[in-house]
């Protein structure tokens, strides 16, 4: 049963925006951006937490569960972002991304392999024409503390190495200081540096302090042209949570109502079990709608989630759980 939204959807003409999604007047200055972003409907935190908790109790069974597990696998950005990463580790991860369960050729591939930019070429070489994307973090990930010139060079290098998706981090200090135009212009510049690559904009929601700020960051990133909005780097706690993801899903839903354009959502960090992944899929369906139940529009940023999805999938197929060492550890 549909549940009540935590806020009303902003009208297409709210706070000075024009019908059809022309936000040029809004993005002209810090003052106009502030008026728009602080004019968005506020988030009822208690209501948001309660609705997310309610959605998290939904369960699905049998055939629907099997379909959900395969969909969740197809939505995984299989990730390694450690200082000790090597070419060999990335090759192994990329091979697993293409064939997550070598014993079962019906198991789908994941959406992407996510690595540091200097390892994008290794991932691209290994993935070849498999259809699995190469996502590279850039813009001084995870802190975002670097000059814009360095961030843009970081982005261009990753794209040149073969990344077709770039995961950038916003300057949280600038955002929290109210320097919205600076954040907006940096996202625009990074998107231009991406060329044909898609851009995911990471907020690090655990540092944004309030749900209202999550909603404002979502609209700011969408106005700047981000293809995806992403919760977290996975390096700060809390990372992805169901209430924060729900607020971002509301934002992309309202953005499409205002502009006709779809934007994707990627929760990242802390999603480790198939049970959790299914909660997110239920929330996607209930909040944004079934159009977002597609790897083009929803991703999981995860390093350990895939193994649990594979274990649950094997249980449904064979009737028994695989041992913990059956699938490779990432």
Q: pLDDT for 237-249, tens place per residue?
A: 999 999 999 999 9
Q: Which residue has the tokens 């990133």?
A: 221
In a domain, 31, yes or no: no
Would you say residue 267 lies in a domain? yes
Structure tokens at 70: 């395969």
Q: Please indicate, yes or no, if residue 219 is contained in any of the structural domains.
A: yes
Residue 241 covered by a domain: yes
Residue 63 has a pLDDT of 86
Q: How many C-beta atoms lie closer than 10 Å to residue 237's C-beta?
A: 9
Asked if residue 218 belongs to a domain, the reply is yes
Helix residue spans in 109-241 (DSSP H): 120-127, 148-160, 172-176, 180-194, 211-223
User: How high is the pLDDT of residue 124?
Assistant: 98
Residue 50: the pLDDT is 97
Give me the CATH number covering residue 214: 3.20.20.70
Look up the domain containing 142 and give its range: 45-318
* Segments of the chain with pLDDT less than 50: 1-5, 9-20
Residue 326 has a pLDDT of 62
Given a contact cutoff of 8 angstroms between Cβ atoms, the answer to whether 18 and 25 are in contact is yes
Phi-psi group of 62: left, alpha or beta (phi > 0 → left; psi -120 to 50 → alpha; rest → beta): left
Q: Which residues pair with 135 in a beta bridge?
A: 114, 165
Predicted local confidence at residue 21, as pLDDT: 66
Q: Kindly state whether residue 325 falls inside one of the protein's structural domains.
A: no
Whether 138 contacts 116, CB under 8 Å = no
* CA neighbours closer than 13 Å in the CB half-sphere of residue 99: 8
Query: Which of 125, 126, 105, 111 is closest to 79 using CA atoms?
Result: 111
Cis, bond preceding 142 (omega within 30 deg of 0): yes
CA–CA dist 248, 75 (Å, integer)? 17
For residue 324, is it within any domain?
no
Of 82, 114, 77, 140, whose CA–CA distance to 271 is shortest? 77
The Cα–Cα gap between 262 and 228 comes to: 9
Helix axes 274-283, 305-318, angle to 10 degrees: 100
Indicate which residues carry an active-site annotation: 167, 230, 266
| Pairwise CA distance, residues 251 & 247, whole Å | 6
Report the C-alpha gap between 256 and 62 in whole angstroms: 33
Hey, how many other C-beta atoms are within 10 angstroms of the C-beta on 145? 13
The answer to whether position 220 is within a domain reads yes
DSSP 108: P
* pLDDT tens, residue by residue, 191-238: 999 999 999 999 999 999 999 999 999 999 999 999 999 999 999 999
How many structural domains comprise the chain? Answer: 1
- What is each CA distance from 131 to 76, 94, 98, 126, 295, in whole angstroms? 13, 11, 8, 11, 12
């Amino acid at each position: 049963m549909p549940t009540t939204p935590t806020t009303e959807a902003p009208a297409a003409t709210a706070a000075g925006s024009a019908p059809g999604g022309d936000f040029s007047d809004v993005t002209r200055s810090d003052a106009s951006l502030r008026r728009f972003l602080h004019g968005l409907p506020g988030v009822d935190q208690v209501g948001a937490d309660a609705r997310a908790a309610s959605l998290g109790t939904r369960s699905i069974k049998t055939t629907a569960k099997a379909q959900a597990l395969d969909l969740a696998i197809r939505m995984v950005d299989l990730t390694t972002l450690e200082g000790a990463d090597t070419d060999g580790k990335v090759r192994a991860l990329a091979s697993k991304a293409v064939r997550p369960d070598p014993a079962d050729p019906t198991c789908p591939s994941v959406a992407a392999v996510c690595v540091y930019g200097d390892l994008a070429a290794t991932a691209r070489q290994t993935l070849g024409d498999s259809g699995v994307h190469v996502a590279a973090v850039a813009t001084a990930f995870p802190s975002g503390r670097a000059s814009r010139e360095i961030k843009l060079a970081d982005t261009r290098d990753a794209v040149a190495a073969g990344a077709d998706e770039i995961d950038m981090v916003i300057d949280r200090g600038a955002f929290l200081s109210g320097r919205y135009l600076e954040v907006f212009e940096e996202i625009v510049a990074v998107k231009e540096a991406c060329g044909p690559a898609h851009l995911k904009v990471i907020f690090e929601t655990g540092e944004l302090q309030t749900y209202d700020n999550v909603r404002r960051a979502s609209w700011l990133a969408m106005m700047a042209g981000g293809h995806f909005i992403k919760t977290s780097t996975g390096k700060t706690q809390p990372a992805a949570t169901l209430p924060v993801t729900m607020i971002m899903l509301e934002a992309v839903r309202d953005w499409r109502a205002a502009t006709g354009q779809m934007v994707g959502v990627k929760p990242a960090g802390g999603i480790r079990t198939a049970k959790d992944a299914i909660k997110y899929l239920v929330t996607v369906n209930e909040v944004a709608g079934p159009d977002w139940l597609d790897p083009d529009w929803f991703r999981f940023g995860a390093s350990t989630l895939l193994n649990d999805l594979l274990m649950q999938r094997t249980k449904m197929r064979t009737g028994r759980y695989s041992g913990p060492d059956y699938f490779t550890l990432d």
